[in-house]
Amino acid sequence: MKGGVCDEGSGTINGLMLIAVAAVLLSAIALGGNLLVCISEARSAADQAAIAGAASARDGDFDPCIKSRRASTLNKASLLACTVDEEDVTVKVAVKTAVPFVPLVSRMARAGPVECS
């Protein structure tokens, strides 16, 4: 104690606060990274499900959405919606995340033949 002021242990508190701030920032970065990966997985699953459904529609299958559902399941995604308009297939899929306040991310995709000019 110097001159009536005692500051013993203040370095420990400052160190703990620094560690806490670093932990919060690293957690936020990890959750953001998980969200970006899940968005990419959802986009890929939607694209593949739409292509599978469109190929099924082109081949004359009774229900192209069955192939879309199977493709999305194989990509660890859930098929939320599937619409067929002639040979065009539009799907919406969702992927679960590890982020507590964003449990699912979803993406839409459309596939079908392109008219040649």
Give pLDDT, residue 12.
85
pLDDT of residue 39: 96
pLDDT at residue 4, as a whole number? 59
Provide the residue ranges of all domains of the chain, joining segments of one domain with +.
Answer: 10-111
Residue-level pLDDT at 5: 65
Q: What is the dihedral of CA 26, 31, 33, 36, to 10 degrees?
A: -160
Give the model confidence (pLDDT) of 4-61 as tens digits: 566 677 788 889 999 999 999 999 999 999 999 999 999 999 999 999 999 999 888 8
Instruction: Give the pLDDT score at 100.
Output: 87
Q: What is the pTM of this model?
A: 0.79
